[in-house]
Amino acid sequence: MFYRAIGLMSGSSLDGLDIAFVEFQEQGGKWTYEIKAADCLPYEEGWAERLKNAIHLSALDYQLLHTSYGHYLGKKVNEFIDAKKLHYQVGLVSSHGHTTFHLPQQGMTGQIGDGAAIAAETGLPVVSDLRAVDVAFGGQGAPIVPIGEKLLMPEYDYFLNIGGIANISVNREDYVAFDVCPANRVLNMLANEAGKAFDEGGAMAAGGQLNTELLDKLNALDYYAKPWPKSLANDFGTDVVYPLIKSAGCTVADALHTFSEHVAIQVSNSVKALRFERRATSNGQLLITGGGALNTHLVNRIAAQVAAHHIDVVVPEAALVNYKEAIIMAFIGVLRWRQEKNVLASVTGARRDSVGGALWMGTEG
C-alpha cells in the first residue's frame, strides 16, 4: 500500500514551520519512505511572538488564536502544494500543531492549530491533536516520534532529536523514550542576547569558558533524577533553566559553552542509564537529528561524552536532520488513517498503546 502525506511540525524553538511531503509504502508489515519535498517556512512577522505568548491569553483569545493559526497552517499547506507542484498528489495532512500547555500530570496537553480550519482551507483529510488520547490514558503524551523511528528507521540503536527540547529514544521491543533536557530554545534565547537568531555551528559556545558552578547547579535540577517515562514543557527551559543561567552573571559565550556542556552531559547520562538498564555491552549508534544536529560544537561535545559508553554518533543527510519530526508526523497521520496504534505506551507510560489523532474530513464524503 502506498500513502502520500504532508506532515507539519512547529517546534518549541519557534524557528519556523517544518513541512514535509512523504511517500510511504507498507509491504508485508515492513515500511519504507521517501521524502518527495520538504521546506522550513519562517514565521511571518508577528506569528512567532503570538505563539510564544499564547499561554498568557484569555480563554477566548486563546481559542481565537487556535482557530486563526489553523487557517494559517492550511494556507501554508496550499502555498507549499503550489510551490512544489503537488496538486492531486497529497492524500492526507497530519499536523502536530504548536504546543502551548503540557500538563500530563493533570491529564491535559494543548497544541494550537485547529484541524478543522486546516481541513477547510486545504480540502484534504487532516489529522490533528496527536497527543491527546495518550494523555487521556494516563500517558505523558510525549515523545510521540518513537513509533516512526521504530517502523521507519530500525537500523539505529538510539535516536536523539535536538530541537527546543532534546529527547532520546532506544530501539528495542519495549520501546523507551523521554525528554532529556531543554536545548535549542535556551541556546537561542542566549544567542538573542548577542543579536543573533541562533549560535551558528556553536561558534560562540566554542569560544566560551566553562562555568563549573553554574554547570553543577544545572545538573542538580530535580527533573534529571526522575525515572522515565517523563516529559518537559517549554517553560522548564524558559522559566527555570534560563533564569538560573542569567543569575550566574556569565558572558553570552560562557553561558552558551556551559549550557552546551550541560546538554551533552545529560544526553550521556541518559545513554548510560538506558544501557545499564538493558545490560548492554556491545557498541551502538546514536542518530542525531533536529536543528541541534547542525550545531557542530554541541554534537562534538555529545560525541565525546557518549564515547565512554561505546556509542558512535551519526549525523545523517540534511533532509532527515531537518525534517525528521515532520516526516514522522506525516507517518503518524497515515497510521491514524489506517486505525493502527501510533503512540507507544512503553514510551509515554500510558495504560495502553493508542490510536492518536482527531480526523477532520476536508473532502466531501
Taking the domains of the chain in order of start, what are their residue ranges?
2-146+323-360, 154-320
Same fold, 2-146+323-360 and 154-320: yes
Asked if pLDDT for residue 42 goes beyond 70, the answer is: yes
| 63-91 per-position pLDDT tens digit | 999 999 999 999 999 999 999 999 999 99
The model's pTM: 0.81
CATH code: domain 2-146+323-360 is 3.30.420.40
pLDDT at 280: 62
pLDDT at 342: 96
| 261-287 per-position pLDDT tens digit | 999 999 999 999 998 766 665 788 999
Q: Give me the architecture of the 154-320 domain, per CATH.
A: 2-Layer Sandwich (3.30)
Give the separation between CA 65 and CA 54, rounded to whole angstroms. Answer: 8
Can you tell me the mean pLDDT for 105-130? 96
Asked if pLDDT for residue 171 goes beyond 90, the answer is: no
pLDDT band at 359; cut points 50, 70, 90: very high
